[in-house]
Amino acid sequence: MTKAFASQSDLSEKAISFTEIGEGLYAFTAQGDPNSGVIIGDDSVMIIEAQATPQLARKVIDCVRSVTDKPITHLALTHYHAVRVLGASAYEAQQIIMSDKARAMVAERGQEDWDSEFQRFPRLFEGHESIPGLTWPTTSFRDRMTVYLGNRRVDLMHLGRAHTAGDIVIHVPDQNVMFTGDIVEYHSACYCGDGHFGDWGGTLDAIKAFDLNAIAPGRGDALIGADMVNAAIESTRDFVNSTYRPAARVAACGGTLKQAWEAVRAECDPKFADYAIYEHCLPFNVARAYDEARGIDTPRIWTAQRDFEMWSNLQS
């Protein structure tokens, strides 16, 4: 009998933290679960990442209401994944912003991703019956756009491919703080199932060049101060490279996916086995690394059936 994904038995509630990372800037974190961010402007609020369901989004809203009563007018989504976007309706934001590429990925594979993620990690879809449907942006952009929350400037940028092809970061220049989505993680595994290993390092370099005061990463604790910011960027780089290198070596020799799985485990387990969602991410990371090493540039669409077939192959 094939073992279940590690995340299917992860039912423990995570403790929420709401950390100020700059003046009027907050990171909503939950012990390795998906993070959200908050930017408070002169007269309105922007939320970064919606959470997976409206019910979970209300936990973010409760934290926002503990510090401001200003209306939530903007919701920025760093990429298309279901656990990041399907709670959008709870905010009633006038503008929902994604990159052009992320919007295209909603159209291409949004429903399949929702179905796949729901069966992989059911705890993250608490109150799933309240999701009204796929989340679509009201506004999208190619490379860069700026939003003003009163006088507060917020820059949204696509710096390169990494966690997905459509990732964006959100930078607040007056505090030199960035919300990176899943391009940067802290003591949490990177999910690379839709990733671009060859580009990820360059995108990390572009983030590092800002010499940031703080980062709200995709998962894990808020990163405050240059030392913590740079350590997280470099540990993310190490995770991505340590996943890709052994899989690429196996692929170059004509080896199998299962051999790539064993090679990646041998390199990554000693360094990352205690990271949040490590066991959950590993099979998807290996499959994508193996594909990219064999010249498949666009990640194949994950479906519940493909998840099962891949996992069965690795466990046989």
pLDDT digit string, tens, across residues 90-114: 999 999 999 999 999 999 999 999 9
Q: Which of 54-58, 85-89, 106-110, 311-315 has the lowest mean pLDDT?
A: 311-315
Of 160, 156, 155, nearest to 198 by C-alpha is 160
On the question of pLDDT at 183 being above 70, the answer is yes
**C-alpha 198: how far from chain center:** 18
pLDDT band of residue 315 (cuts 50, 70, 90) is confident
Q: Are 222 and 19 in contact (CB under 8 A)?
A: yes
- Pairwise pLDDT comparison (144 vs 120), residue with the higher score: 144
Of 1, 2, 36, nearest to 16 by C-alpha is 36
Amino acid of residue 256: T
Residues 6+ apart with CB under 8 A from 126: 52, 53, 55, 56
**Predicted local confidence at residue 121, as pLDDT:** 86
Of 2, 148, 22, nearest to 73 by C-alpha is 148
pLDDT digits (tens, 9 = 90+) for 74-95: 999 999 999 999 999 999 999 9
Percent of the chain at pLDDT > 90 equals 90
What does the DSSP 8-state code read for residue 255? -
Q: What is the mean pLDDT of the segment spanning 146-160?
A: 98
Rounded to two decimals, what is the model's pTM?
Answer: 0.96
Residues 6+ apart with CB under 8 A from 102: 77, 78, 79, 80, 137, 140, 164, 166, 167, 168
On the question of pLDDT at 262 being above 50, the answer is yes
Q: Are 301 and 273 in contact (CB under 8 A)?
A: no
**Predicted local confidence at residue 304, as pLDDT:** 86
**Predicted local confidence at residue 5, as pLDDT:** 63
On the question of pLDDT at 11 being above 70, the answer is no
Determine whether 32 is exposed, middle or buried from the number of CB atoms within 10 Å of its CB (0-12, 13-18, 19+): buried
**Predicted local confidence at residue 2, as pLDDT:** 54
Percent of the chain at pLDDT > 70 equals 97
pLDDT band of residue 316 (cuts 50, 70, 90) is confident
